């Protein structure tokens, strides 16, 4: 099925099950501890041994020698594989950093050996007995030091323009009556997901099976095969439950490759979990940025010139953090300039983390909008509304498919009590606490991806869905069950959903805010094919048949759905592909974020008091699971604003706070009150589901809203995240 024209009325529009706040169908498994996560798959392979990874103690250089004699002689050790035992493995198509093999070290905690033993403790102890001689080399670890020589890079690949220009930015900015020129910095950040990278690997001849934690099954299968030199058909990946990913588990990581190598060397299945310090140094992270924003406006508040230039770093061959992308479409303005620079660094690989690009970019842009509003003497909400656009500013012939940013801001302003805000910084106080309100706009583009599914109908009327879509805590099981139930006209307890197995049809996978909309559209396509098969079996007209209450109705006849499978299970597949609607219409999701903070006037401590997100994101497939996604993203935004920062040791090139004791993420006590409102919206140009994504939108703009609230509370403008107390303590207003 190909989605080429806007969606008309279809079975999803009945909204008997889709659109309802249904509890997660996998919830009972999770609260009883029976959901099978990767490291806990005790039943999938007998006689499992334990693997332990040793990471490099240097960030740049070569390994001269690894003495493994003592480790091999240690009690319980079954096998040891070192990086010197083989040449550098082929790089996966989705990887920047080498995962294993060869003497060269690209970054700190690069995997250099795996030890296999009967128990985890034996493997860990033996790994400490490996003696490694290094030839250390000088590396580049400081983004600020390298930024001045960083070359321009195109965001769309090697053929993309180095600078995106619309109109005459330089001339318009120079002539603008009101100008802003400011630089903002965002830090390196870690995904810090609860579940570690973990894999159980087992071989049967040339066939490799990985029970792992990965967001994108098809990508993982292909890259494992490529890296290990296997035929893709000889690799099976199974990942039914994932304990958080946030983009960190989009790609094949060292745990999967080393578990496979270890299992081959030991001659038996091996389970392996990456220890927390390696999760932060061995795997990917969100790269830090240095962003310069220039803005020119008329005295009445119309933006006439805007430039956003960002510099980030990565390993050679890596990509920049695309922090300028939202600035290209969020606000009107005839004269525009955006560009990115990429500094080669010898830090761990920088790659996708929840809302890549927009999260970092809005941390800067939405402070700049507040700073310009203050220069103009305008309310920050009204300044944003005044510069709204319903078309792509660079291509006015290309409208937005649906854009309710103004409605998000107006509704949020009313619900939050924005009118009670005192625009004078430092004017609102409660004893020694300085009180402030801040807001920001949020945007995240809507992406869709080809997605397929297989559906089965039993003679008992049970519909079983099989697709390699993953559930990373987002509620995929539930919304897929809702889609199948709605389309086939059965109750949700008559639907069984099976996910995360590479033996199933390839779906969109979980990432980029495309998973929910795309995967359910693929299930919808498969269910339409099943409806046709059922009608044919029952001798009915598929176009006239009505599927409802577990029956198929055609005129005066009403036949039990399961009767279509009396002669044997009906099995069909379907796939949803997309035409060029995304090129004809700019498809995006929008939010208005509002925050109230209290800053201790004596200590500088910042506390979040309340948060509100008003979101416009197409049809909300399940308000309960969608709200969970948004409040989780809002919480992550608090971390980005106030606490989260991978601290780089510029001497040795490592993230020194590489555990959850020192990399501080927000906890429940930090987030007293959150409210989420979804605007009524369907986007018929997105998919037959008329939905969009929402899980990343909840993060976009939150950190800036907090920064703006802190400024409103204190009168101190901090442009360097996270806004730890040392960055404003000496400038706080006096407490009388």
Residue with tokens 């299970």: 569
**CA triplet 208, 211, 213: central angle to 5 degrees?**
130
Domain limit, last residue, from 254, 280, 306: 280
Looking at the predicted structure, is the pLDDT value of residue 543 above 90? no
Based on the domain organization, do 248 and 130 belong to the same domain?
Answer: yes
As given in the structure block, the two tokens for residue 529 are 């094919």
Does residue 146 belong to any structural domain of this protein?
no
Based on the domain organization, do 547 and 654 belong to the same domain?
Answer: no
- Kindly report, residue by residue over 476-530, the tens digit of the pLDDT: 999 999 999 999 999 999 999 999 999 999 999 999 999 999 999 999 999 999 9
Does residue 522 belong to any structural domain of this protein?
yes
Based on the domain organization, do 454 and 437 belong to the same domain?
Answer: no
Total domains in the fold of the chain: 3
Span 353-372, average pLDDT: 98
- Kindly report, residue by residue over 259-313, the tens digit of the pLDDT: 999 999 999 999 999 999 999 999 999 999 999 999 999 999 999 999 999 999 9
Query: What is the C-alpha to C-alpha distance for residues 579 and 576, in angstroms, rounded to an integer?
Result: 10
Query: What is the C-alpha to C-alpha distance for residues 365 and 440, in angstroms, rounded to an integer?
Result: 9
| 3-class SS of residue 235 | strand
Based on the domain organization, do 576 and 635 belong to the same domain?
Answer: no
Distances (CA, A) of 2 to 263, 519, 543, 570: 42, 14, 18, 23
61 within 8 A of 120, measured Cβ to Cβ: no
Residue with tokens 């005295």: 299
Looking at the predicted structure, is the pLDDT value of residue 685 above 70? yes
Q: Give the sheet arrangement for strand 551-554, strand by strand.
A: 546-548, 551-554, 557-560
CA nearest to 460, candidates 497, 485, 494: 494
Based on the domain organization, do 22 and 44 belong to the same domain?
Answer: no
Based on the domain organization, do 572 and 664 belong to the same domain?
Answer: no
**Average pLDDT score, the chain:** 97
Q: What pLDDT score was predicted for residue 157?
A: 66
Based on the domain organization, do 125 and 242 belong to the same domain?
Answer: yes
Query: What is the C-alpha to C-alpha distance for residues 209 and 225, in angstroms, rounded to an integer?
Result: 11
Q: Structural domain of residue 53, as residue ranges?
A: 39-138+197-280
Span 74-94, average pLDDT: 97
As given in the structure block, the two tokens for residue 210 are 């990985």
Q: What pLDDT score was predicted for residue 455?
A: 99
Query: What is the C-alpha to C-alpha distance for residues 266 and 286, in angstroms, rounded to an integer?
Result: 35
Based on the domain organization, do 609 and 568 belong to the same domain?
Answer: no
483 within 8 A of 729, measured Cβ to Cβ: no
**Helix extents (H) in 141-216:** 143-147, 169-175
Length of the chain: 736
189: left (phi over 0), alpha (psi -120 to 50) or beta: beta
Looking at the predicted structure, is the pLDDT value of residue 158 above 80? no
- Kindly report, residue by residue over 628-667, the tens digit of the pLDDT: 999 999 999 999 999 999 999 999 999 999 999 999 999 9
Does residue 501 belong to any structural domain of this protein?
yes
Span 219-233, average pLDDT: 98
**Rounded to the nearest 5°, which phi and psi values hold at 490?**
-125, 165
Q: How confident is the model at residue 132 (pLDDT cuts 50, 70, 90)?
A: very high
Does residue 50 belong to any structural domain of this protein?
yes
pTM equals 0.98
Does residue 572 belong to any structural domain of this protein?
yes
Burial grade of 136 (CB within 10 A; 0-12, 13-18, 19 or more):
middle
Query: What is the C-alpha to C-alpha distance for residues 453 and 465, in angstroms, rounded to an integer?
Result: 7
- Kindly report, residue by residue over 450-466, the tens digit of the pLDDT: 999 999 999 999 999 99
Q: Give the sheet arrangement for strand 131-136, strand by strand.
A: 104-105, 61-67, 131-136
Based on the domain organization, do 475 and 609 belong to the same domain?
Answer: no
Domain limit, last residue, from 280, 311, 340: 280
Does residue 296 belong to any structural domain of this protein?
no
Query: What is the C-alpha to C-alpha distance for residues 102 and 733, in angstroms, rounded to an integer?
Result: 57
**Which distant-in-sequence residues (6+ apart) come within 8 Å of 205 by Cβ?**
none
Domain limit, last residue, from 231, 263, 280: 280
Q: What pLDDT score was predicted for residue 495?
A: 98
CA nearest to 202, candidates 77, 81, 36, 42: 42
Query: What is the C-alpha to C-alpha distance for residues 187 and 289, in angstroms, rounded to an integer?
Result: 7
- Kindly report, residue by residue over 718-736, the tens digit of the pLDDT: 999 999 999 999 999 988 6
Residue 182 DSSP class: E
Q: 189, 321, 366, 696: which is the annotated catalytic residue?
A: 696
Based on the domain organization, do 467 and 563 belong to the same domain?
Answer: yes
* 189 labelled catalytic: no
Give the strand pairing for 395-399 and 391-392. Answer: antiparallel
Does residue 351 belong to any structural domain of this protein?
no
Residue 696 DSSP class: T
Does residue 350 belong to any structural domain of this protein?
no
Q: What pLDDT score was predicted for residue 154?
A: 85
Region of poorest pLDDT, from 155-164, 424-433, 545-554, 605-614:
155-164
Distances (CA, A) of 369 to 199, 568, 666: 45, 63, 26
Q: What pLDDT score was predicted for residue 155?
A: 73
Query: What is the C-alpha to C-alpha distance for residues 599 and 723, in angstroms, rounded to an integer?
Result: 11
**CA of residue 406 relative to chain centroid, distance:** 25
Give the CATH number for residue 100: 3.30.365.10
- DSSP states of 504-531: SPP---S-TT-HHHHHHHHHHHHHHHHH
Based on the domain organization, do 95 and 206 belong to the same domain?
Answer: yes
Based on the domain organization, do 535 and 592 belong to the same domain?
Answer: no
């Amino acid at each position: 099925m190909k989605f080429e024209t806007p969606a008309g009325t279809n079975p999803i529009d009945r909204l008997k099950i889709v659109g309802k706040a249904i509890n997660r169908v996998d919830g009972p498994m999770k609260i009883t501890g029976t959901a099978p996560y990767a490291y806990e798959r005790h039943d999938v392979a007998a006689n499992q041994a334990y693997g332990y990874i040793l990471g490099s103690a240097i960030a740049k250089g070569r390994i001269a020698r690894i003495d493994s004699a003592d480790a091999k002689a240690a009690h319980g050790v079954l096998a040891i594989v070192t990086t010197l035992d083989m040449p550098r493995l082929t790089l996966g198509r989705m990887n920047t950093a080498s995962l294993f093999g060869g003497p060269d070290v690209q970054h700190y905690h690069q995997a250099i050996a795996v030890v296999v033993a009967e128990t985890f403790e034996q493997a860990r102890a033996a790994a400490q007995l490996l003696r490694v001689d290094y030839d250390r080399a000088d590396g580049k670890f400081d983004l600020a030091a390298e930024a001045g020589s960083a070359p321009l890079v195109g965001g769309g690949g090697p053929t993309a323009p180095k600078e995106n220009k619309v109109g005459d930015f330089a001339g318009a900015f120079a002539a603008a009556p009101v100008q802003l020129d400011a630089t903002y910095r965002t830090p390196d950040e870690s995904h810090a997901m609860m579940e570690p990278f973990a894999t159980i690997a087992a071989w049967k001849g040339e066939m490799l099976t990985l029970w792992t934690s990965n967001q994108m099954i098809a990508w993982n299968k292909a890259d494992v095969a490529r890296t290990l030199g296997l035929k893709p058909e000889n690799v099976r990946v199974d990942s039914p439950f994932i304990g958080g990913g946030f983009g960190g588990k989009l790609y094949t990581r060292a745990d999967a490759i080393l578990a496979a190598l270890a299992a081959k060397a030991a001659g038996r299945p091996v389970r392996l979990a990456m220890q927390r310090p390696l999760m932060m140094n061995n795997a990917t992270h969100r790269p830090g940025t240095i962003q310069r924003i220039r803005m020119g406006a008329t005295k009445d508040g119309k933006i006439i010139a805007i430039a956003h230039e960002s510099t980030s770093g990565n390993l050679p061959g890596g990509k920049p953090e695309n922090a300028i992308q939202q600035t290209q479409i969020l606000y009107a303005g005839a004269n525009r300039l955006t560009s990115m620079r990429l500094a080669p660094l010898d830090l761990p690989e920088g790659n996708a983390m929840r809302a890549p690009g927009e999260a970092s970019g809005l941390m800067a842009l939405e402070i700049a909008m507040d700073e310009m509003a203050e220069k103009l003497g305008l309310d920050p909400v009204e300044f944003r509304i005044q510069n709204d656009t319903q078309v792509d500013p660079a291509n006015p012939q290309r409208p937005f498919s649906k854009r309710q940013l103004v409605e998000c801001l107006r509704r949020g302003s009313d619900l939050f009590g924005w009118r009670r805000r005192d625009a004078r910084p430092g004017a609102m106080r409660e004893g020694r606490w300085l009180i402030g309100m801040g807001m920001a706009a949020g945007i995240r583009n809507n992406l869709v991806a080809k997605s397929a599914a297989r559906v089965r109908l039993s003679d008992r009327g049970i519909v079983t869905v099989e697709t390699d879509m993953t559930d990373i805590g987002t509620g995929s099981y539930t919304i897929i069950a809702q889609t199948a139930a709605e389309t086939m006209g059965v109750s949700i307890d008559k639907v069984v959903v099976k996910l995360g197995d590479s033996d199933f049809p390839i779906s969109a996978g979980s990432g980029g805010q495309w998973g929910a909309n795309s995967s359910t559209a693929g299930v919808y396509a498969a269910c339409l094919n099943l409806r046709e098969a059922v009608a044919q079996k029952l001798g009915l007209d598929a176009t006239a048949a009505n599927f409802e209450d577990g029956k198929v109705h055609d005129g005066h006849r009403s036949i039990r759905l399961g009767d279509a499978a009396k002669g044997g299970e009906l099995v069909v597949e379907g796939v949803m592909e997309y035409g060029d609607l995304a090129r004809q219409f700019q498809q995006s999701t929008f939010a208005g974020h509002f925050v109230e903070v209290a800053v201790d006037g004596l200590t500088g401590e910042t506390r979040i008091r309340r948060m509100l997100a008003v979101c416009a994101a197409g049809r909300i497939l399940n308000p309960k699971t969608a709200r969970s996604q948004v409040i989780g993203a809002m919480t992550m935004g608090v971390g980005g604003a106030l606490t989260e920062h991978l601290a780089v040791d510029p001497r040795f090139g490592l993230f020194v706070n590489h555990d959850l004791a020192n990399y501080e993420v927000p906890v429940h006590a930090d987030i007293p009150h959150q409210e989420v409102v979804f605007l009524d919206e369907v986007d018929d140009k997105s998919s037959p589901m008329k939905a969009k994504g929402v899980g990343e939108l909840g993060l976009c703009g939150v950190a800036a809203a907090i920064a703006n609230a802190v400024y409103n509370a204190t009168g101190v403008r901090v442009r360097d995240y996270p806004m730890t107390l040392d960055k404003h303590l000496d400038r706080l207003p006096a407490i009388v």
